[in-house]
Structure 1
Amino acid sequence: MKKWDTDDPALSTSSQAISGVSSGCQQGGCLTCSDYNGCLSCKPRFFMHLERIGMKQIGVCMTSCPPGFYGTRSPERNTCTKCRSECDSCFNKNFCTHCRAGFYLHLGKCQENCPEGMVRSDAQRECILKCPADCESCVSSDTCKQCRPGLYQLSGMCHHVCPEDYEPNDKLMECIPQVHCEVGEWSEWSPCSKSGRTCGFKRGQETRTRQVMQYPSPFGKPCPEGSEIRECMVRRRKCPGRKKNERREGRNRNNRKDKENQEGRRERKREREREKERDTGEREDSVNRNKTEHRHRRGHETELVSPVDGSIQ
Structure 2
Amino acid sequence: MQLGLFVVVVFLSSMDLTGGSKAVKGKRQRRISTELSQGCARGCDLCSEFNGCLRCSPKLFILLERNDIRQIGICLPSCPLGYFGLRNTDMNKCIKCKIENCESCFSRNFCTKCKEGLYLHKGRCYVTCPEGYSAANGTMECSSPAQCEMSEWGPWGPCSKKRKLCGFKKGNEDRTRRILQAPSGDVSLCPATTEVRRCTVQKSQCPEGKRKKKDEQGKQDNTNGNRNRKDTKDAKSGTKKRKSKQRGAVAPTTSASPAQ
The structure in which a higher percent of residues are helix is: 2
The structure in which a higher percent of residues are strand is: 1
TM-score (norm 1): 0.34
TM-score (norm 2): 0.40
Give the number of the structure whose alpha-carbon radius of gyration is greater: 1
